[in-house]
Protein backbone atom coordinates (compact mmCIF):
# COMPACT_ATOMS: atom_id res chain seq x y z
CA UNK A 1 0.00 0.00 0.00
CA UNK A 2 1.81 3.11 -1.21
CA UNK A 3 1.06 6.68 -2.15
CA UNK A 4 1.85 8.81 -5.16
CA UNK A 5 3.10 12.17 -3.98
CA UNK A 6 1.84 15.11 -5.96
CA UNK A 7 4.36 17.65 -4.71
CA UNK A 8 8.00 18.70 -4.94
CA UNK A 9 8.72 16.68 -1.79
CA UNK A 10 8.29 13.37 -3.66
CA UNK A 11 11.96 12.42 -3.47
CA UNK A 12 11.83 12.35 0.34
CA UNK A 13 9.20 9.65 0.56
CA UNK A 14 9.54 7.27 -2.38
CA UNK A 15 10.89 4.33 -0.37
CA UNK A 16 8.64 4.52 2.67
CA UNK A 17 5.63 2.42 3.65
CA UNK A 18 2.16 3.92 4.15
CA UNK A 19 2.23 4.64 7.88
CA UNK A 20 5.85 5.74 7.80
CA UNK A 21 5.06 7.93 4.83
CA UNK A 22 2.30 9.83 6.63
CA UNK A 23 4.45 10.37 9.72
CA UNK A 24 7.53 11.46 7.77
CA UNK A 25 5.47 13.70 5.54
CA UNK A 26 3.99 15.56 8.49
CA UNK A 27 7.40 15.83 10.17
CA UNK A 28 9.09 16.99 6.96
CA UNK A 29 6.41 19.56 6.24
CA UNK A 30 6.38 20.71 9.85
CA UNK A 31 10.14 21.18 9.99
CA UNK A 32 10.27 23.35 6.88
CA UNK A 33 7.15 25.30 7.71
CA UNK A 34 8.15 25.92 11.33
CA UNK A 35 11.46 27.36 10.21
CA UNK A 36 9.51 29.84 8.06
CA UNK A 37 6.67 30.51 10.49
CA UNK A 38 8.46 30.82 13.82
CA UNK A 39 6.65 28.04 15.69
CA UNK A 40 3.02 29.22 15.71
CA UNK A 41 2.16 27.17 12.65
CA UNK A 42 -0.87 24.87 12.47
CA UNK A 43 -0.99 21.70 10.37
CA UNK A 44 -3.80 19.45 9.25
CA UNK A 45 -3.67 15.91 7.90
CA UNK A 46 -6.87 15.01 6.06
CA UNK A 47 -7.77 11.55 4.80
CA UNK A 48 -10.56 11.17 2.27
CA UNK A 49 -11.80 8.75 -0.32
CA UNK A 50 -13.98 9.24 -3.35
CA UNK A 51 -16.23 6.77 -5.10
CA UNK A 52 -14.29 4.42 -7.38
CA UNK A 53 -16.42 5.68 -10.27
CA UNK A 54 -15.16 9.23 -9.68
CA UNK A 55 -11.39 8.76 -9.22
CA UNK A 56 -10.33 10.89 -12.20
CA UNK A 57 -12.74 13.70 -11.35
CA UNK A 58 -11.87 13.51 -7.65
CA UNK A 59 -8.15 13.58 -8.37
CA UNK A 60 -8.57 16.59 -10.66
CA UNK A 61 -10.72 18.40 -8.10
CA UNK A 62 -8.23 17.81 -5.29
CA UNK A 63 -5.26 18.92 -7.43
CA UNK A 64 -7.13 22.08 -8.46
CA UNK A 65 -7.92 22.77 -4.79
CA UNK A 66 -4.26 22.18 -3.90
CA UNK A 67 -3.08 24.70 -6.50
CA UNK A 68 -5.55 27.34 -5.29
CA UNK A 69 -4.57 26.84 -1.64
CA UNK A 70 -0.85 27.10 -2.28
CA UNK A 71 -1.44 30.71 -3.35
CA UNK A 72 -3.45 31.67 -0.25
CA UNK A 73 -1.99 34.05 2.30
CA UNK A 74 -0.54 32.16 5.26
CA UNK A 75 -0.14 28.83 3.44
CA UNK A 76 3.14 27.07 4.24
CA UNK A 77 2.46 23.62 2.78
CA UNK A 78 -0.23 21.89 0.77
CA UNK A 79 0.68 18.39 -0.35
CA UNK A 80 -1.66 15.81 -1.87
CA UNK A 81 -0.96 12.07 -1.71
CA UNK A 82 -2.89 9.43 -3.64
CA UNK A 83 -2.76 5.77 -2.66
CA UNK A 84 -1.33 3.63 -5.46
CA UNK A 85 -3.16 0.39 -4.68
CA UNK A 86 -6.50 2.13 -4.06
CA UNK A 87 -6.40 5.30 -6.17
CA UNK A 88 -9.68 6.58 -4.74
CA UNK A 89 -7.97 7.27 -1.38
CA UNK A 90 -6.16 10.54 -0.72
CA UNK A 91 -4.23 12.19 2.07
CA UNK A 92 -3.78 15.97 2.24
CA UNK A 93 -1.14 17.70 4.37
CA UNK A 94 -1.74 21.40 5.02
CA UNK A 95 0.49 23.86 6.85
CA UNK A 96 -0.70 27.33 7.86
CA UNK A 97 1.26 30.18 9.44
CA UNK A 98 -1.18 30.34 12.37
CA UNK A 99 -4.70 29.38 13.45
CA UNK A 100 -6.09 32.63 12.05
CA UNK A 101 -4.76 31.75 8.57
CA UNK A 102 -6.21 28.25 8.78
CA UNK A 103 -9.61 29.59 9.88
CA UNK A 104 -9.63 32.13 7.03
CA UNK A 105 -8.84 29.31 4.61
CA UNK A 106 -11.69 27.16 5.94
CA UNK A 107 -14.16 30.05 5.51
CA UNK A 108 -12.71 31.17 2.17
CA UNK A 109 -14.44 31.24 -1.19
CA UNK A 110 -12.40 28.28 -2.52
CA UNK A 111 -13.32 25.92 0.33
CA UNK A 112 -17.09 26.05 -0.13
CA UNK A 113 -17.32 24.86 -3.78
CA UNK A 114 -14.69 22.20 -3.08
CA UNK A 115 -16.66 20.85 -0.12
CA UNK A 116 -19.91 20.94 -2.06
CA UNK A 117 -18.56 18.99 -5.05
CA UNK A 118 -16.56 16.60 -2.86
CA UNK A 119 -19.69 15.76 -0.84
CA UNK A 120 -21.34 14.45 -4.00
CA UNK A 121 -18.51 12.08 -4.96
CA UNK A 122 -16.97 10.97 -1.65
CA UNK A 123 -17.58 7.66 0.11
CA UNK A 124 -17.42 9.07 3.63
CA UNK A 125 -16.77 12.39 5.36
CA UNK A 126 -13.13 13.53 5.36
CA UNK A 127 -11.13 12.63 8.48
CA UNK A 128 -9.05 15.66 9.49
CA UNK A 129 -6.46 15.71 12.27
CA UNK A 130 -5.19 19.15 13.30
CA UNK A 131 -1.68 19.48 14.73
CA UNK A 132 -0.13 22.56 16.29
CA UNK A 133 3.58 23.09 15.83
CA UNK A 134 5.92 23.89 18.67
CA UNK A 135 9.59 24.59 19.06
CA UNK A 136 11.94 24.70 22.04
CA UNK A 137 14.31 27.58 22.58
CA UNK A 138 17.47 26.63 24.44
CA UNK A 139 18.15 29.52 26.80
CA UNK A 140 20.77 28.00 29.02
CA UNK A 141 22.52 24.67 29.49
CA UNK A 142 21.41 24.10 33.13
CA UNK A 143 17.73 24.31 32.31
CA UNK A 144 18.26 21.90 29.45
CA UNK A 145 20.11 19.41 31.68
CA UNK A 146 17.21 19.36 34.17
CA UNK A 147 14.68 18.70 31.40
CA UNK A 148 13.26 15.27 30.74
18-32 tens-digit pLDDT: 444 444 444 454 445
Residue 30 makes CB contacts below 8 A (sequence gap 6+) with 41, 43, 95, 131, 133
Mean pLDDT of 66-85: 95
Between 20-34, 74-88, 108-122, 130-144, the lowest mean confidence (pLDDT) is in: 20-34
Quick one: pLDDT band at residue 139, thresholds 50, 70, 90?
low
Query: Using CA atoms, how far apart are residues 98 and 115, in angstroms rounded to an integer?
Result: 22
pLDDT for residue 109 is more than 60: yes
- SS3 of 144, please? helix
Containing structural domain, residue 98:
3-146
Query: What is the CB neighbour count within 10 angstroms for residue 141?
Result: 8
pLDDT at 132: 80
Closest CA to 126 of 75, 62, 72: 62
Cβ pair 75, 98 in contact under 8 A? no
For all residues of the chain together, what is the average pLDDT? 76
Higher-confidence position of 1 and 15: 1
Mean pLDDT of 118-147: 70
CATH of the domain at 38: 3.30.70.100
pTM of the model: 0.66
Query: What is the CB neighbour count within 10 angstroms for residue 49?
Result: 20
Total domain count, the chain: 1
> pLDDT tens digits for 35-46?
444 568 999 999
Amino acid sequence: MGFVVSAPLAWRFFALGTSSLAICLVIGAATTAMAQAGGGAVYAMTYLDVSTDWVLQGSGLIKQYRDMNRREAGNLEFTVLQETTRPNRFAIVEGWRDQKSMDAHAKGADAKPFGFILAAIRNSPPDQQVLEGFAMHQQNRRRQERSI
